[in-house]
Amino acid sequence: MIPKCLRDQRGFGLPEVLIASALMLVVMGAVMSLYLGTQRSARVETDFADVQDNLRLAFDQLTKDVRMAGFLVIGAPIVDRSATAFTIRTTSPARRYARITAPDIGTGSNKTFEVYSSAMVERFRVGDQVRIIRPPNQEQPGAEISGSSLIFEVSATNPGARTLSLSNFSDGADYAFSRGDMIVRVTAGSPLVSEIRYQFRPAPHNTLERVVNGGTPQILARNLSNLEFDYDFNDEDLVEAVRIAITGSAGVENDPQNKIAHRTRTVRTHITVRNI
């Protein structure tokens, strides 16, 4: 005899199935809501970490450029300034230079110069193009020589001996280089005085850009909600320091549905111009 309980073929009734399905939907909804919220929060945190990294890199580049403003330049080191943009004038946007301590007085097409330190030699590589500039009046020795080139090429470096060898001099010409002249690395086709433009592009771009001699903009930082430049002046009305406040943001503002906090961070710095 088969027990009656085993012979009973009845399954779940419709009310029971509906109740179980409803409970399952509630549980799944809660799980998905928790998962999506955690995922959105993680994405905001990742984006915010990227914003902070961008701000650090932007400030590092800004600091280096502002400190080189006015290097071997006659006139104002910083021009065309506003609350969201300014232009740096410098002969060395690459920040690669060396001070000559023992000039080569020969008249050949190749010359070797002793410079102040081995660290200065290490700033250059064979094949680099350079100018030689005499401070403080931005003179270029050899400019008076007819047909002479004022752009030279590094042919050899010797950090141990603190020497830089350059080529492309006019053979037989006396450039009359002297102690204290500066060897400055330049970019092919760049002017004697380069201009570095910093500019904030608000929404929809929200970026900080660096533009050298009107070339292609380099984006230093993204996801910026605000940027402000302010300036300190000396007695000659020249900019002697730049005060910078940059606000980066991550997440969506006014997003009560997702309940994800919109995060911002404002970083401030004060950079002194060294060459005035």
In the chain, where does the domain assigned CATH 2.40.10 lie?
A: 97-186
CA distances from 75 to 66, 85, 117, 125, 238 (A): 15, 19, 29, 30, 9
Which pTM was predicted?
Answer: 0.77
Torsion of CA 141, 142, 148, 150, to 10 degrees: 10
CA distances from 206 to 48, 126, 151 (A): 15, 39, 39
Mean pLDDT to the nearest integer, 167-180: 92
Task: Look at 276 and 97; give whichever has higher pLDDT.
Answer: 97
Residue position matching structure tokens 């403080």: 136
Fold assignment, 97-186: Thrombin, subunit H (2.40.10)
Highest mean pLDDT among 21-30, 73-82, 247-256: 73-82
Answer yes or no: is pLDDT of 268 > 70: yes
Band (pLDDT 50/70/90 cuts) for residue 7 is: low
Residue 135 preceded by cis peptide, ω within 30? no
Pairwise CA distance, residues 112 & 105, whole Å: 9
Average pLDDT, the chain: 86
pLDDT digits (tens, 9 = 90+) for 33-69: 665 555 555 555 566 667 777 788 889 999 999 999 9
Pairwise CA distance, residues 45 & 54, whole Å: 14
| Side chain identity at residue 138, one-letter code | Q
Residues in the chain: 276
Return phi, psi of residue 211, to 5°.
-125, 120
Q: Do strands 163-167 and 152-158 pair parallel, antiparallel, or not at all (unpaired)?
A: antiparallel
pLDDT digits (tens, 9 = 90+) for 117-165: 999 999 999 999 999 999 988 899 999 888 788 999 999 999 999 999 9
**Which residues are registered as beta bridge partners of 133?**
182
Query: What is the secondary structure of the chain as a DSSP string?
Result: ---HHHH------HHHHHHHHHHHHHHHHHHHHHHHHHHHHHHHHHHHHHHHHHHHHHHHHHHHHHHHTTTT-SS-SEES--SSEEEEEES-TT--EEEEEE-----SSEEEEEES-HHHHTT--TT-EEEEEBTTTTB-TTTTSTT--S-EEEEEEETTTTEEEEE-PPTT------TT-EEEEE-TT--SSEEEEEEEETTTT-EEEEEETT---EEEE-SEEEEEEEEEE-TTS-EEEEEEEEEEEES-SS-TTTT---EEEEEEEEEE----
pLDDT digits (tens, 9 = 90+) for 188-229: 888 999 999 999 999 888 999 999 999 999 999 988 989 999
pLDDT at 128: 96
